[in-house]
């Protein structure tokens, strides 16, 4: 697949930066109201210390728990740097945590697909991720990939409604999960609707179970039976949790009644770039401006908006990066064939995206604002903000909270008009303002909130595992 030639020079210090990708936005000059918008939404969380969390009274609270187990709902470690991976890596960097184990479930089919991709993919970065997926599935124990960070995939045969296969899957899962039990005080950070979550709690017997609700997954499912099953998986775990966090106020309101301890709104975040990339760069005469989008190309995309922008901006090059779900594969192929100004660069590892973002003039979010995305909090917008570049977005979170620094369009006509303003923007102060907002919403601050809550819970907790007490 053809790749774009970068406009940054090979020896440019920005090109050598290895930090993670970021993003942008576009406000009115002199308006500082948005600088605190996200900080307020996240309770202006405090950065994590070397060995402590921060309480509401600003007094350090040592987190007694020494071990976290993070259980994600699908096998995608190393690809997208989603919230679960960001939390895992940030937790492992804290001096107050001895060990963090990240778990995923993978089927035999998924394992076989990963093995094949280690052989056929041209991108060595992607091959290395799939190779790790094979290793962490076949290994008897979690694989250590950093000083305090381990990863493991728990193998099942296949998802099925057949009773005998369900029993076989549970037996396999239980045998693998029991090997993960440790004598250290363990906190399970679960991501419903991960399958076999109840079985994992029984096997691990953690002292505390926390739930972190990321996106309204049931609302995104079209099949009524499947949606009901996902809804059940969401609500069944919440009464068993000592604390529950959620990425959006929509999730807090929808599921709050099922969590006896309530649900705490904890938005997504970003790892700011140091030094920041995405500064002003030279333009070759006659070179078209570039507009970039990163993320999974799936059913949440506003297809009519994308085609409208491509049709009405023939002199602008639109760059699409990310995996394509089967449901929109034909649509992406049609875009490439019909519009010469549409470039699809395929799937990239998260740590590759920064260079592509740096190579764009404006960054966009093209998701529909509807019931399927109402419970989301788009990580890409935080990453866009960290670049300082202009961003144009549909009115989904967190763009709806950041209208002073993000161009927010209610329809495709307004999106086109705001895109022209973003392309013409020349305001260094706006770039600095966006980067400040990104820094105020870093992952360290989000994790500090979790550690602070764990510290308080352990302060009132006995040494007996929560699972035993609640049995």
Helix segments in 238-390, DSSP class H = 249-255, 303-312, 329-338, 353-358, 379-385
Residue 312 has pLDDT above 90, yes or no: yes
Asked if residue 19 is part of any domain, the answer here is yes
| Residue 275 sits in the same domain as residue 368 | yes
Contacts of 55 (CB under 8 A, 6+ apart): 61, 452, 455, 456
pLDDT score, position 42 = 43
Q: Is 370's pLDDT higher than 80?
A: yes
pLDDT bin (cut points 50, 70, 90) of residue 111 is very high
Residues 133, 56 within the same domain: yes
Are 289 and 423 within one domain?
yes
Asked if residue 60 belongs to a domain, the reply is yes
Query: Worst-scoring range by mean pLDDT, 93-97, 275-279, 298-302?
Result: 275-279
The model's pLDDT over 162-199, given as tens digits with 9 standing for 90+, comes to 999 999 999 999 999 999 999 889 999 999 998 899 99
Assigned token pair, 380: 């890409």
Give me the pLDDT at residue 45, please. Answer: 39
* CATH assignment of the domain containing 224: 3.40.50.2000
Is residue 38 domain-resident?
no
Do 261 and 311 share a domain, yes or no?
Answer: no
> In what helix (H) or strand (E) does residue 165 lie, and over which residues does it extend?
helix 163-178
Give the Cα separation of 2 and 242 in Å (integer): 50
Q: Are residues 63 and 97 in the same domain?
A: yes
Category of 142 on φ-ψ map: left (φ > 0), alpha (ψ -120 to 50) or beta: beta
Spell out a b/e string for 241-264, using b for 16 or more CB atoms within 10 Å of the CB, else e. Answer: bbbbbbbbbbbbebbeebbeeebb
The CA distance from 353 to 81, in Å, is: 11
Q: What is the pLDDT of residue 355?
A: 86
The candidate with the shortest Cα–Cα distance to 334, out of 392, 222, 324, 411, is 324
Residue 283 has pLDDT above 60, yes or no: no
CB 118 within 8 A of CB 134: yes
Do 306 and 325 reside in the same domain of the chain? yes
> Can you give the pLDDT at residue 352?
86
Q: What pLDDT digit, counting tens, does each position of 53-109 carry?
A: 444 444 444 444 589 999 999 999 999 899 999 999 999 999 999 999 999 999 999
Planar angle of CA 357, 375, 192, nearest 5 degrees = 100
Q: What pLDDT sits at residue 210?
A: 97
270 DSSP 8-state letter? B
Q: Is residue 255 part of a domain?
A: yes
CA distances from 205 to 91, 213, 216, 232, 467 (A): 20, 21, 27, 22, 6
Residue 290 confidence (pLDDT) above 60: yes
Please indicate, yes or no, if residue 323 is contained in any of the structural domains. Answer: yes
Peptide bond into 460 cis (omega under 30): no
pLDDT at residue 320 in the model: 97
User: In this model, does residue 136 exceed pLDDT 80?
Assistant: yes
Question: In this predicted model, what pLDDT tens digit does every residue of 203-222 receive, in sequence order?
Answer: 999 999 999 999 988 888 88
Verify that 193 and 138 share a domain, yes or no.
yes
- Domain boundary (242, 266, 290) is at 266
2 lies in a domain?
no
One domain, residues 276 and 398: yes
Q: How far, CA to CA in Å, does 13 sit from each of 250, 275, 359, 384?
A: 42, 9, 14, 20
Q: How far is CA 179 from CA 65, 153, 373, in A?
A: 20, 13, 37
- Do 298 and 378 belong together in one domain? yes
**Position 120 confidence tier, pLDDT thresholds 50, 70, 90:** very high
pLDDT of residue 365: 97
Domain count, the chain: 2
Q: What is the pLDDT of residue 234?
A: 85
Give yes or no: residues 360 and 213 share one domain.
no
Full DSSP string of 121-159: -S-HHHHHHHHHHHHHHH-SSPEE-SSSEEEEEEEES--
Question: What's the chain's average pLDDT?
Answer: 84
Domain boundary among 248, 266, 284: 266
Question: Domain end: 241, 266, 291, which one?
Answer: 266
Parallel, antiparallel, or unpaired: how do β-strands 53-54 and 60-61 relate?
antiparallel
Q: Are 366 and 306 in contact (CB under 8 A)?
A: yes
Same domain, yes or no, for 309 and 416? yes
| Rounded Cα gap, residues 471 and 464, in angstroms | 12
| 175/31: higher pLDDT | 175
Kindly provide the b/e burial profile for residues 174-204, where b requires at least 16 CB atoms within 10 angstroms of the residue's own CB.
Answer: eebbeebebeebbbbbbbbbbbbbebbbebb
Higher per-residue pLDDT: 217 or 113: 113
φ, ψ dihedrals at 135, nearest 5°: -65, -45
197-204 and 163-178 helices, crossing angle to 10°: 30
Q: What is the pLDDT of residue 8?
A: 40
Domain range for 257:
45-266
Identify whether 37 is part of a domain: no
| Residue 456 in domain | no
Mark whether 63 and 112 lie in a shared domain: yes
Residue 421 confidence (pLDDT) above 60: yes
pLDDT of residue 127: 95
């Amino acid at each position: 697949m053809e790749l774009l030639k970068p406009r940054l020079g090979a020896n440019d210090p920005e090109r050598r930066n290895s930090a993670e990708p970021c993003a942008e936005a576009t406000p009115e000059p002199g308006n500082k109201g948005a600088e605190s918008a996200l900080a307020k939404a996240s309770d202006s969380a405090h950065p994590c210390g070397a060995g402590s969390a921060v309480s509401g009274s600003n007094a350090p609270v040592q987190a007694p728990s020494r071990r976290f187990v993070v259980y994600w709902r699908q096998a995608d470690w190393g690809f997208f740097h989603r919230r679960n991976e960001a939390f895992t890596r940030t937790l492992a960097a804290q001096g107050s945590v001895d060990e963090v184990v990240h778990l995923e479930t993978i089927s035999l089919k998924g394992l076989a697909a990963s093995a094949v991709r280690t052989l056929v993919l041209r991108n060595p970065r992607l091959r290395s991720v799939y190779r790790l997926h094979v290793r962490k599935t076949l290994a008897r124990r979690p694989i250590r990939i950093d000083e305090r960070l381990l990863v493991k995939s728990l193998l099942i045969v296949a998802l099925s409604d057949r009773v005998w296969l369900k029993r076989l899957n549970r037996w396999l899962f239980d045998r693998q999960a029991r090997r993960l039990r440790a004598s250290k005080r363990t906190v399970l950070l679960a991501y419903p609707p991960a399958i076999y979550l109840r079985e994992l709690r029984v096997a691990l017997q953690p002292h505390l179970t926390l739930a972190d609700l990321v996106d309204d997954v049931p609302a995104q499912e079209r099949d009524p039976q499947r949606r009901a099953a996902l809804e059940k998986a969401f609500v069944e775990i919440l009464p068993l949790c000592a604390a529950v966090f959620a990425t959006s106020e929509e999730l807090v309101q929808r599921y709050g009644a099922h969590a006896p301890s309530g649900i705490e709104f904890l938005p997504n975040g970003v790892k700011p770039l140091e030094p920041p990339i995405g500064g002003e760069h030279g333009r070759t005469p006659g070179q078209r401006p570039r507009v970039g989008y990163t993320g999974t190309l799936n059913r949440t995309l506003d297809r009519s908006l994308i085609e409208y922008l491509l049709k009405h901006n023939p002199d602008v090059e639109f760059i699409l990066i990310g995996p394509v779900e089967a449901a929109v594969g034909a649509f992406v192929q049609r875009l490439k064939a019909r519009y010469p100004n549409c470039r699809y660069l395929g799937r990239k590892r998260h740590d590759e995206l920064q260079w592509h973002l740096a190579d764009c003039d404006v960054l966009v979010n093209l998701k529909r604002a509807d019931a399927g995305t109402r419970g989301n909090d788009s990580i890409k917008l935080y990453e866009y903000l960290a670049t300082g570049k202009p961003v144009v977005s549909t009115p989904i979170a967190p763009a709806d909270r950041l209208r002073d620094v993000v161009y927010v369009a209610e329809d495709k006509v307004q999106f086109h008009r705001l895109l022209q303003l973003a392309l013409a923007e020349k305001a260094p102060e706006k770039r600095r303002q966006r980067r400040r907002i990104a820094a105020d919403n870093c992952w360290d601050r989000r994790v500090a909130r979790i550690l602070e809550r764990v510290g308080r819970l352990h302060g009132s907790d006995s040494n007996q595992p929560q699972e035993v007490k609640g049995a």
